[in-house]
Structure 1
Amino acid sequence: MEVRNEYPKLVNISIKICLALKKFIKKVKINTEYLKDLKNSKTNVGIRKMAEYLVIMQSQFKHPPGEKEINELVMKKEKYGIWTCAGRLENTSMKNPIFISYNSFLANLLCNEAHLKTFHSGVRQSLTELRINFWIPSARKKMRNIIDKCFECRKLKLEPFKIPEMPSLPKERVTRSKPFENCGVDYAGPFEVKNNEGKISKCWIEIFTCMSTRFTHLEIVRDLTAKSCIMAFRRFLAEYGLPRKIISDNGTQYQLTSKVVNEITKKLELKNISWVFIPSLSPWFGGFYEAIVKIMKRCLKSAIGKKLLYFEELRTILPEIKLIMNTRPLTYIYENFEDTLDILRPIDLIMPKEMKINLILVP
């Protein structure tokens, strides 16, 4: 049974019982100390205290201490016949904790109440709070069981999904090949731009990235139709040639583009392009181009901030962002001067090593 915060509810039920007893004992003679004090209780605090005593007395009546426990804990009966534990501290000013049996249901409720009072703290702090007023044999074990069943603690302490072991890189990532012989393609956006009339419209950036060199090409399109995708793909082919394999998500524009491209290459008696679509709702299969999308967005945000550009302005900035992306280091940059002379960049695998960033910064 899962233990919840039921101790206050149990006390509230006992308060109702005490109020009923109080009405009843007005008409009868009172012989016990408990009923006399209950009759004289005038405030809500006093009645609540008597209700808690009633709960404790019922628990001890059902689960009384054994002789071994009485001797070991130097127990004695105090007010209303409630067993308390003095131990070796009987002569101190400290309050003797009330004995509660380990097997009683009240022990579960009290441990849970102490755990909640300490805002879901660990065993030590919850146990410290419990032992201010109560003594439960093997309380540490009981408290640990209560905390292990606590839903909030399990929710906070549970580790996230365990990341599986990294698989081997695909053959296309580690095999020597021509630039963009194997590549991935994806869209980023939408991005808002202004037209010549000042009206706001949307555009997207199509990203082509080489699987082996990590070189990236950017194309801007006005919509996500298959026609725009084909036009962007034609511009890409004019610069880098026909790829052998393309990986993308299973968007409808890509599916139609792959059919059109394969039909054209078949008519021209060229080798068909192997267009591979990743599974639906599984972007991690395209992680190699999703990482490039992240880099591109970061560069674009750093370049324009929150400015709203004209379409031509954004089309001008994209090649500059492309240059920055392709001159990023692929290897670790060491502190030693000699080791920094051989920094490998994507552009070094396609263009001469002397290629540098030459941008005209316009405020």
Structure 2
Amino acid sequence: MQGQQLENFVSADDMEKAKAVWAQDIQREATQDPKYANWVREFGIYEDNSGVLRCRGRLQNAKLTFGQIHPVLLPANHPYTSLVVVRCHGIVGHNGVKETLTEVRSQHWIVRGRQVVRRLINQCTTCKRHEGPSYSTPEAQPLPQFRTTVDFPFTYTGVDFAGPLYVKDGNETRKAPNGKTFKAAAKSLEGLFTVEEVASRLADHGVRWTFNLEKAPWWGGFFERTLRCVKRCLKKILHLSKVTYEELLTTLLEIEAILNSRPLSYVSSEDMEEPLTPSHLIYGRRVLSCPMIDPDDVDLATVQRDDVLRRLVHIKQLTDHFWTRWQAEYLLELRNAHRKPKSASRGAEVGVGDIVVIHEDGVARGLWNLARVEKLLPSKDGQVRGAVVKHTTKGGRVTCLRRPLQRLYPVELGEHRESNTPDDVTSADSVVPAPVTQPSVPEPRASRAAATRANSLRQQLILQGRV
């Protein structure tokens, strides 16, 4: 029995002979490359006693191993070369390009080796899961019309929940509802909108509700930023104080006045006019500024029609002055905030079937859940900015989540990435195109079909946590 095991045992000498045979077969193809003559002159290529092509160089007197002094020549685009790089990448603990390339060059010399190593590391699923970037996103859309045109206050409003907030009720402390209440309220609203009387009233007033994508606060950036300012003021004003509901309401009203008195544009020491604030649109001045006229000095009984008309004209002039300053000082200055960064790295393009990890706040990246992209979510301009992903919870329940692309980090791209067409993009307003006759394509080779099945099986094992 032991003798039979020794007969099947592969020794180190057998491995070296096998490597020599593989190298000879690979290099036989490399010699047919048009650039081979340049390689011979550049690397000093010669054939050793085993028939393997090696690089000569000028390190013969260095205290290095034979493989380091005379590395085996490998072409850049051969599968065997990829296997060598992947093995060396695992030996160095999935470190970067420099470490992997150093390990590769201890035995082999790859033409354009740094490019090959960088490309294969970018495809490493382990590295992408722990360090890879999120999906690339389309360029930002133009600002919505209601943010760049003149309109009445509160024509468009944004609503969000913040919390939890604690209030004192006698000797007890109650906690106000937090963001989860918003989802419950959203479900109640959806049911309420189906009531005929409510739906009719909303339609008469032109009221429409639009919910932003989950975990994407930048989709409502201007009011999310205002909410952040409210939270900051609350933390600094209240800190750990316990207040009653009336005291909390008073504090929020004071914060409202503070935020409505904030400057909308850059404040310079050379500006003679009062800084432009949101309250100018309603009151014509900052809320926190003292009024110039004492209301007690005005006798309403003596007010004449001409006085009211003059006051109306004055208010109209103030409003027009506000919009003129708003366009000059605020709107045109937004271009500075919208400048693109000089060097922005772009990740992979999202596609149905991709394996991703879902970003979770407060959780180490190695513990993020794996998921599969099931559907793409386009925005109004037709660009994909979100996706529906399916993952399995710890309890074994399969759920679907809607997430923006910035919260999804690709681990493995789908096997049919090149065939992703607009048909993969679904939307409530999308129209199904008429079927188009496609030209016939040849049947895939048996090896390609086997590779496709193996890739699909590997993705299933990744989702089940076995890999």
Q: 1:17 to 1:281 in 2, by over 3 A?
A: farther
Superposition deviation, residue 253 in structure 1 = 5.3
CA distance in 2, matches of 1:344, 1:90: 76
CA distance in 2, matches of 1:18, 1:303: 81
**Quick one: which amino acid aligns to residue 60 of structure 1?**
A
CA distance in 2, matches of 1:342, 1:306: 35
Alpha-carbon deviations, 1:134-163, whole Å to 9, x = none?
345564564345334322444534454415
Give the corresponding residue for 1:276: 208
SS in 1 for 2:207: strand
Match of 1:170 among 123, 145, 149: 145
Superposition deviation, residue 60 in structure 1 = 0.6
Superposition deviation, residue 168 in structure 1 = 3.6
Give the corresponding residue for 2:277: 345
**Quick one: which amino acid aligns to residue 248 of structure 2?**
L
CA distance in 1, matches of 2:112, 2:166: 66
CA distance in 2, matches of 1:17, 1:138: 46
Is 1:313 the equivalent of 2:247?
yes
Is 1:203 the equivalent of 2:163?
no
CA distance in 1, matches of 2:164, 2:190: 17
Q: 1:87 to 1:172 in 2, by over 3 A?
A: closer
Give the corresponding residue for 1:301: 235
**Quick one: which amino acid aligns to residue 85 of structure 2?**
C
Give the corresponding residue for 1:252: 188
Superposition deviation, residue 194 in structure 1 = 1.9
Alpha-carbon deviations, 1:54-107, whole Å to 9, x = none?
3232121244266999994344349xx988654443344332225365487654
Alpha-carbon deviations, 1:193-248, whole Å to 9, x = none?
2202x22323369xxxxxxxxxxxxxxxxx99x9xxxxxxxxxxxxxxxxxxxxxx
Q: 1:73 to 1:309 in 2, by over 3 A?
A: same
Give the corresponding residue for 1:93: 63
Superposition deviation, residue 277 in structure 1 = 0.7
Alpha-carbon deviations, 1:244-295, whole Å to 9, x = none?
xxxxx956359859989979x99xxxx9533221147567665543333222
Q: Is the 8 A contact 1:84 1:96 kept in 2?
A: no
For structure 2, the 5+ residue unaligned runs are 32-36, 291-467
CA distance in 1, matches of 2:194, 2:177: 19
SS in 1 for 2:256: helix
**Quick one: which amino acid aligns to residue 17 of structure 2?**
M
**Quick one: which amino acid aligns to residue 301 of structure 1?**
K
**Quick one: which amino acid aligns to residue 145 of structure 2?**
P
Match of 1:55 among 6, 11, 15: 15
Give the corresponding residue for 2:448: none
Q: Is the 8 A contact 2:54 2:72 kept in 1?
A: yes
CA distance in 1, matches of 2:275, 2:197: 37
Question: What percentage of aligned pairs have identical amino acids?
Answer: 26
Give the corresponding residue for 1:237: none
Give the corresponding residue for 1:47: none
For structure 1, the 5+ residue unaligned runs are 1-15, 24-49, 206-222, 227-248, 359-363
CA distance in 1, matches of 2:11, 2:210: 66
Q: 1:326 to 1:202 in 2, by over 3 A?
A: same
SS in 2 for 1:189: coil
CA distance in 2, matches of 1:320, 1:109: 66
Give the corresponding residue for 1:20: 6
CA distance in 2, matches of 1:17, 1:116: 34
**Quick one: which amino acid aligns to residue 278 of structure 1?**
T
Is 1:327 the equivalent of 2:261?
yes
CA distance in 2, matches of 1:314, 1:146: 57
CA distance in 2, matches of 1:295, 1:132: 57
Q: 1:130 to 1:181 in 2, by over 3 A?
A: closer
**Quick one: which amino acid aligns to residue 72 of structure 2?**
F
**Quick one: which amino acid aligns to residue 169 of structure 1?**
P
Superposition deviation, residue 353 in structure 1 = 2.9
Q: 1:137 to 1:257 in 2, by over 3 A?
A: closer
Moved more, 160-169 or 254-263: 254-263
SS in 2 for 1:350: helix
Q: Is the 8 A contact 1:57 1:82 kept in 2?
A: no
SS in 2 for 1:339: coil
Q: 1:260 to 1:344 in 2, by over 3 A?
A: farther
**Quick one: which amino acid aligns to residue 328 of structure 1?**
R
The aligned length equals 268
Provide TM-score, normalisation by structure 1.
Answer: 0.55
CA distance in 2, matches of 1:195, 1:106: 73
Provide TM-score, normalisation by structure 2.
Answer: 0.45
Q: 1:310 to 1:354 in 2, by over 3 A?
A: closer
Matches within 5 A, 1:1-363: 20=6, 51-64=11-24, 72-77=44-49, 85-97=55-67, 98-99=71-72, 101-102=74-75, 107-136=81-110, 139-140=113-114, 142-154=116-128, 156-171=131-146, 174-177=149-152, 179-196=153-170, 198-203=171-176, 250=186, 252=188, 256=192, 273-279=205-211, 281=213, 286-334=220-268, 337-339=269-271, 341-353=273-285, 355-356=287-288
**Quick one: which amino acid aligns to residue 311 of structure 1?**
Y
